[in-house]
Structure 1
Amino acid sequence: MPFHISAQSSYTEKAPHPQQAYPYSQNSQSEQPEYIQAEPQSEAGLNAERKAYADKVRQSYNFSVMKGNISLPGNATVQGGDFIQPGAFPNAQYCGHCHQEAYHQWRQALHSNSFRTPFYRASVNIVMNTKGIQFARHCDSCHNPIAVLSGGLTQESIVDRKFDQDGLTCATCHSIQKVQSTIGNGGYVMGVPAVMTDVDGKRIPGEVPYADILAHPDRHAKAVMQPLYRTPEFCAACHKANLPTPLNGYKWIRAFTTYDEWQNSKFSQRNPLTFYSADFTTCQGCHMKRAANTLPEPGAKNGTFVSHRWEAGNTAVPFYYGFDEQLQKTIAFLRSGNYLNVDLFALQIAGQDEMIAPLGTKPFTLKPSDVVQALVVIQNKNIGHSLIPEVRDLYEAWVEFTVKDSAGKDIYHSGFIKPDGMLDERAHSFTNRPVNSEGTFVDNHKVWTIHSVAYDNTVAAGRSALVRYEFKIPADIKDAITITARVNYRHLRQSYINNVLGKDHPDYPIIELASRSRVLKIGENEITPPDAGDNPDWMRWNNLGIGYLDQLQYPDAIHAFQEVVKLRPDYADGYTNLGLTNIEWEKFTDARTVLDKALALNPDSVRALYYSALIERRLSHSEVEIADLKKVVEMYPQSRDARRELGISYYQQDQPKLAMEQFEELQKIDPDDLAAHYNLAILYRRAGMKDKARRESAMFVTKKVDPGAPTYSLDFLRKHPEISTESVPWHIHSDLSNEEVRSGGQY
């Protein structure tokens, strides 16, 4: 059985590893490799050498997609637009001579192991063996930029691939000069690597003597640091991806959009429609936090250094390589914050009309043989993206729900790990199931075969998932039962680890991200005080309402949000939530009433103003509609929704130039927005801009969902009834047959 790491325990077990690479003492400087420094070449010599190299590569290079574009179906580019020698990139050992702390952290981090791990290689090798090595440029534009830009991904390559062991080096990230409109898939522009500028600020390509750097640290910093590196857009170059037509021969499909999720979260402060607010926080603010450095580090400030471990969710790579320091820090990161809130919100006992909610605030009676439904609310409270953000088909995060008697014996258990290490098929997991044209799960991450997604149970940033569990209390129970809900996490999915390593491998760690337990007495249960980590009651109701809203349960959502405003009558967003629910329920008069109340409480509520504008549109109050949306755009110029709706408003009022401006601004924020492509295609054509119109029309056609794709999902769900309920927004996880439910009474 895989071992578990709970929110209260510490990691102590060290499993055997199939491979131990780059062994060193983690607490010494002995890891620093000796490095023989090369003499710098002249710029003219470097340019001539690059041209000669590029000419040689080009002779046999398989461009595959577009003649002259060296990275398609990836999006990586390099200044000069031509191949560059691998040796133009100073290796990490060169940088590590001085930056010992950065090198030490980087060596164990996922970035330095982005290419060589068996988990990645298993997938990319399938691409190469099935479609051809040239198609691996789609993946390696992020995972191995030097291989792509040096022309190494072609048949009979002349490139020495010794750099594969280093993945993303210091020189790759710190040579990027700009990103390409957040298109992802390696959407960066790489500069010719330089670690120094001359007195005029011009970049000096290649390595320079350490003495020169130490004599002019300001010129070194100018070459390797840019304000861009501190922005989320820098991360978006790779932490956003799609599957383009040249890769799959089918059509454009979204893969993952971590950057977009952050931009729509409360942490970006760019979206007025979030349910909660927070201080501005970038990707780097969470994943590159400052900490005291233990090794010499010129980049440190006041004894602290921004983390180059990029702590996140990948426990598999450090576990595989035996990087215990990285693994323990990753586990601590996953368990460190108030990222998730698990709320055992309510009980519904069969045969009783009233729901016991919020649990702990009302007395109730529980009897043997009662059939009970428990409502569990999982709040994505402080993650700047969804749970799970990327490659959801490979990660495993799920709810484990248990009901135990006073002796600790299971009465009901959902989300357990089976003896073979596989997850209970009926567990509520925050994953997805991509399927191919045959209605079969796309295993081994063969992304080019994806045609549809059968379901996607991710929890968006700032939102909540409502999960229902049903069980029957045994007739012989005398004292009490304990119910527990926890969110567990494993990287990677067990079947994928088996596919890569075979079944004879160490058990990979399972991390408990958050949990909540309650003891329920048989008989009378009194009011109980909240735990320290519990949300206040108004927020508990608010999160329940969000869960109901996402499950399209509008009457229940209305009830939940009404409870919010009862507890907090001064809370304008409570009324806004009622307005949003009524809009989705198409009860526009009711929506208008509560939105007016929200604006009366808080005239500056941009969120309420946005939804009010949608009501004004329904009432044909065009001037007020446009005025409201203009205010929203003025206050949130990077709001996708406000730009889109204002463009539609202008379009409907026959103001094509103003509509065009809004949709063009929307495309700067999200180049994949379908409404922008569609409307610009029409607007450009009417304005006589036929070339632009054709382009937008083509983009709309390729990016819109294939209307036949849902049939592939239906085929998959028919074949897998054990998980088909996960595709239904409202469903119950139950260990009871229908007959048992009927005998226990009706809800």
Structure 2
Amino acid sequence: MQRRLISLTPSARLLTSAAAFSIALSLAAVAQTQDTPESRLAYNQKIAKDYTYRYGVDHPFLPSNMTSDTGKFIDPKSFATAQYCGHCHQEAHAEWRQSAHSNSNRAPWYLRNVNLLNAEKGISFSRHCEGCHDPIAVVAGAITEGAPRKRPYDQDGVTCMVCHSIQSVTTRGTGSYVLGEPAVMVDESGKPIHGPVSDQEILAHLDRHSAAVMKPFYKTPEFCSSCHKAALPRTLNDYKWQRAISLYEEYQVSSFAKQSPLPFYKKDVVSTCQTCHMQREALVSLPDPGAKDGKLASHRWLGANTVVPQYYHFEEQMKRVTAFLQNNVFNVDIFAVEPSAPEGTQASLIAPLGKDPFTLNAGQRVTVSVVIQNKGIAHSHVPEQRDMYESWVAFTVKNAQGKTLAQSGFIQPNGKLDPAAHSFTNRLINKSGGINDLHQVWDNRVVAFNNTIQSGRSQLIRYEFTMPHTDSPVTVTATVRYRRFDQTFMDFGMSMPQGQHYQQPIVDMVSTSRTLNVGQNDATKPLLNENPEWMRWNNSGIALLDAQQYAASVDAFAHVAKLRPDYADAPTNIAITLIAWEKYNDALPYLQKSLSLAKDNARALYYLALVQRNEGKVDDAIANLQKVIAAFPQSRDAHRELGFTLYQQHKYDLARTEYEYVQSIDPDDLAAHYNLSIIYRRLGLKDKAAVESAYFADQKDDPTASTYALEYLRKHREVAQESVPWHVHDLDQRGADETQPVPVTAAAPQSGQSSPNSPTLK
């Protein structure tokens, strides 16, 4: 639909009025019957008679968290079709049709995965998925045994009137929204008008149309969090609660949200889900009264889905998604070279590469350090348990003639990624100790490792190889690549015959190269789009910190402090590393230095409070955390730490307030559940304590599950090193067969694959 309705220009009014009269005010695309309380009751009684209430009549939609305004079913005929909305909102409809939202419940790979769940556990369990992928079917009571598998509204997926009928949301996710009975208009008193409304009447009362379909919270990240955050609850897996994706929490603590003082970098302005994924764009050819000043909030929801546009032949969507993925998401820095040294001597690190001259010898072993910075997205890449998504670093070593001498991160002839590649993914292990290679998340037991890269942070990947025994130079290239699904899941999702593989587009998001000479290597000018020297060191320091290389991280941040003596975050970053190293006393002078450069700097005050609390200076810690909260009221970390500090002073009422505030931001914060269970008990609130204790018991890690991960990694040594924070990819150990990858292309579907024509944009 639209972000905001405005008065039509004369030309637009003529155009849309002509469109309305040309269909003779037809209501064929709208509900055919007037909705009344009586008709809704009758529909509920009809569905309830045969519906599978697996979790009781009070919870008809579990395992999804979605519900309706009455907790009862809604007749799917109440939802105006996207085609109806498209009568006027032609541009929004055309964009939506090519989006992942529009195709959320009909793509073959999605259906195959859901049918796998249905076959293993039963159709009622798939409400967990369908609550976000097919909301109309869930609220209609159609996800139950014996219901029709094909429904007329399935072609609309997440349609206009799904999003624009949501009455409220929480940040719990997994469909944590309340869906109201759809209405495209309100009457003179503001009461929703359910049932058919003509185009002519809507055009005559645009303000009442806007009142019915637009609410202020639609423009907030919390609105998106209701589905773009998810958990795997006990009602799905018969095991325990597990977090699946946490995009909202990742966003909320990122620099993009500006709600936390803790990110390593700062943004000038607040960004939201909508400002990134619904950017306003000028209308080009189709009219749309939802446009403001000739610009419409994009309903393409550009993200990372490259398979939908390929499969349905949406050429414009593919072009736009590719550009989105290549638009400054990452910075790739070939940061350092470490030549091998004679036994008994210390190897020297040449960094940052390009700044100073150095010498390499023929036949010498070298380690190249590549730093990948996630600078352009407000959440992790790839989002947490998106185990079948695939993004990785392709690293090549080529001679002067272009021949590949060594490499990592290639595509094998069977279409699968080099198993030893550094990939931004995870491995989900099931209850049998095997990998969930078909996204069987309902069988998850543990994450063997998680190499996703968080917003604003960096990863350091090291590659070791031997320089040529001749004087030939080599060019090393590091590229971040992305494809929507790994080959195993894609072949399953497309029902490919044995031995055939569905070829997906692979997008090179960003790439950089450097030449290494045998002999003298001179200093070079900065590369195109290369970060300034201080930032190169800073990103290296962040990556080393996350790799638990604390001494090297302190050294990297010390370089930043030397290059930028007025930069308050440099000494703070040193202190953060020392605190992680549990050297609290050593961190104190660096925090004091930071505060001398930027008085009342909230980031430094937060870490100073942790040091003070460790020293027993609890009152000082409380005072500083309160200053942080005054500057950043939505800082979960500050409220959580203040709650714990107040608890230490036995100020249970005050501690309770802080932890309840944390839960208002993240209802599933584990520390809040645990501490509130104790605090409520101390306050005599036994019922509340029992609730929080039950949440904590369900949501805490299962200590026995780690054995599944250890056993899997023991059997799969080719990926085991990715579970170790600090390791080297030894390219000299790769076999000859492994250095013959298939070409990487963004090809169209192969001959013989099922690829329907693009749907008619109605």
How far apart are residue 500 of structure 1 and its match?
A: 1.9
Write out per-residue CA displacement over residues 187-220 of structure 1, whole angstroms, 9 at most, x where no aligned residue: 0011110110111111111330111101011111
Distance 2:352 2:57 in 1: 63
Q: Residue 710 of structure 1 aligns with which residue?
A: 706
Instruction: State whether residues 29 and 80 of structure 2, in contact with CA within 8 Å, keep that contact through their aligned partners in structure 1.
Output: no
TM-score using structure 2 length: 0.90
Write out per-residue CA displacement over residues 209-259 of structure 1, whole angstroms, 9 at most, x where no aligned residue: 111101011111111111111100000000000000011000000001111
Q: Identify which of 585, 589, 592 aligns with 1:589.
A: 585
Q: Residue 22 of structure 1 aligns with which residue?
A: none
How far apart are residue 391 of structure 1 and its match?
A: 4.3
| Range with greater deviation from structure 2 (202-211 or 651-660) | 202-211
Instruction: State whether residues 425 and 450 of structure 2, in contact with CA within 8 Å, keep that contact through their aligned partners in structure 1.
Output: yes
1:515 aligns with 2:511: yes
Q: Residue 439 of structure 1 aligns with which residue?
A: 433
Instruction: State whether residues 388 and 439 of structure 2, in contact with CA within 8 Å, keep that contact through their aligned partners in structure 1.
Output: yes
Q: Identify which of 66, 69, 73 aligns with 2:63.
A: 73
Q: Residue 743 of structure 1 aligns with which residue?
A: none
1:284 aligns with 2:274: yes
In structure 1, give the amino acid aligned to 2:375: K
Q: Identify which of 449, 460, 470 aligns with 2:464.
A: 470
How far apart are residue 590 of structure 1 and its match?
A: 1.1
How far apart are residue 604 of structure 1 and its match?
A: 2.8
Q: Residue 570 of structure 1 aligns with which residue?
A: 566
1:418 aligns with 2:409: no
1:669 aligns with 2:665: yes
Q: Residue 550 of structure 2 aligns with which residue?
A: 554
Q: Identify which of 365, 369, 377 aligns with 1:371.
A: 365
Distance 2:500 2:196 in 1: 45
Distance 2:579 2:24 in 1: 66
Q: Residue 14 of structure 1 aligns with which residue?
A: none
In structure 2, give the amino acid aligned to 1:202: K
> Any idea what SS the aligned residue of 1:453 has?
strand
Write out per-residue CA displacement over residues 482-533 of structure 1, whole angstroms, 9 at most, x where no aligned residue: 0110100011111111112215355211000111101122221111011231
Q: Residue 25 of structure 1 aligns with which residue?
A: none
How far apart are residue 338 of structure 1 and its match?
A: 1.6
Q: Identify which of 287, 302, 313 aligns with 1:311.
A: 302
Distance 1:133 1:586 in 2: 50
> Any idea what SS the aligned residue of 1:519 has?
strand
Write out per-residue CA displacement over residues 525-550 of structure 1, whole angstroms, 9 at most, x where no aligned residue: 11101123111110100110111100
Instruction: State whether residues 35 and 93 of structure 1, in contact with CA within 8 Å, keep that contact through their aligned partners in structure 2.
Output: no
How far apart are residue 328 of structure 1 and its match?
A: 1.1
Q: Residue 448 of structure 2 aligns with which residue?
A: 454
Q: Identify which of 141, 146, 150 aligns with 2:136.
A: 146
Q: Residue 245 of structure 1 aligns with which residue?
A: 234
In structure 2, give the amino acid aligned to 1:667: Q
Q: Residue 478 of structure 2 aligns with which residue?
A: 485
Distance 2:430 2:31 in 1: 52
Instruction: State whether residues 578 and 587 of structure 2, in contact with CA within 8 Å, keep that contact through their aligned partners in structure 1.
Output: yes
> Any idea what SS the aligned residue of 1:186 has?
coil
Instruction: State whether residues 545 and 577 of structure 2, in contact with CA within 8 Å, keep that contact through their aligned partners in structure 1.
Output: yes
1:326 aligns with 2:320: no
Distance 1:66 1:597 in 2: 60
Percent identity over paired residues: 51
In structure 2, give the amino acid aligned to 1:114: S
Distance 1:40 1:243 in 2: 36
Matches within 5 A, 1:145-294: 145-157=135-147, 161-180=151-170, 182-278=171-267, 279-293=269-283, 294=285
How far apart are residue 621 of structure 1 and its match?
A: 1.0
How far apart are residue 40 of structure 1 and its match?
A: 8.9
How far apart are residue 66 of structure 1 and its match?
A: 2.8
Q: Residue 60 of structure 1 aligns with which residue?
A: 50
How far apart are residue 586 of structure 1 and its match?
A: 1.2
Structure 2 CA distance for partners of 1:131 and 1:485, relative to 1, 3 Å:
same
Q: Identify which of 100, 107, 117 aligns with 1:110.
A: 100
How far apart are residue 116 of structure 1 and its match?
A: 0.3
Q: Residue 719 of structure 1 aligns with which residue?
A: 715
Write out per-residue CA displacement over residues 291-316 of structure 1, whole angstroms, 9 at most, x where no aligned residue: 12220111111221111010100001
> Any idea what SS the aligned residue of 2:544 has?
helix
Q: Identify which of 86, 92, 95 aligns with 1:96.
A: 86
Structure 2 CA distance for partners of 1:160 and 1:586, relative to 1, 3 Å:
closer
Instruction: State whether residues 150 and 159 of structure 1, in contact with CA within 8 Å, keep that contact through their aligned partners in structure 2.
Output: no
What is the aligned residue count? 705
Distance 2:732 2:518 in 1: 20
In structure 2, give the amino acid aligned to 1:110: A
Distance 2:153 2:210 in 1: 24
Q: Residue 404 of structure 1 aligns with which residue?
A: 398
Q: Residue 540 of structure 1 aligns with which residue?
A: 536
Distance 2:592 2:73 in 1: 60
> Any idea what SS the aligned residue of 1:451 has?
strand
Distance 2:33 2:644 in 1: 52
Instruction: State whether residues 318 and 324 of structure 1, in contact with CA within 8 Å, keep that contact through their aligned partners in structure 2.
Output: yes
Q: Residue 18 of structure 1 aligns with which residue?
A: none
In structure 2, give the amino acid aligned to 1:433: R
Write out per-residue CA displacement over residues 410-436 of structure 1, whole angstroms, 9 at most, x where no aligned residue: 111110111121111110000110001
In structure 1, give the amino acid aligned to 2:120: T
Distance 2:677 2:354 in 1: 56
Q: Identify which of 597, 619, 625 aligns with 1:623.
A: 619
After superposition, the CA RMSD in angstroms is 1.8
Q: Residue 643 of structure 1 aligns with which residue?
A: 639
In structure 2, give the amino acid aligned to 1:240: K
Q: Identify which of 488, 500, 510 aligns with 1:495.
A: 488
1:387 aligns with 2:381: yes
Structure 2 CA distance for partners of 1:292 and 1:44, relative to 1, 3 Å:
closer
In structure 1, give the amino acid aligned to 2:88: C
Distance 1:737 1:157 in 2: 56
| Range with greater deviation from structure 2 (153-162 or 165-174) | 153-162
How far apart are residue 686 of structure 1 and its match?
A: 1.5
How far apart are residue 735 of structure 1 and its match?
A: 2.1
> Any idea what SS the aligned residue of 2:184 has?
strand
Distance 2:181 2:323 in 1: 37
TM-score using structure 1 length: 0.92
Q: Residue 84 of structure 1 aligns with which residue?
A: 74
Instruction: State whether residues 70 and 148 of structure 1, in contact with CA within 8 Å, keep that contact through their aligned partners in structure 2.
Output: no
Structure 2 CA distance for partners of 1:176 and 1:412, relative to 1, 3 Å:
same
How far apart are residue 82 of structure 1 and its match?
A: 0.7
How far apart are residue 43 of structure 1 and its match?
A: 11
| Range with greater deviation from structure 2 (650-659 or 681-690) | 681-690
How far apart are residue 406 of structure 1 and its match?
A: 0.2
Instruction: State whether residues 415 and 501 of structure 2, in contact with CA within 8 Å, keep that contact through their aligned partners in structure 1.
Output: no
Structure 2 CA distance for partners of 1:544 and 1:658, relative to 1, 3 Å:
same
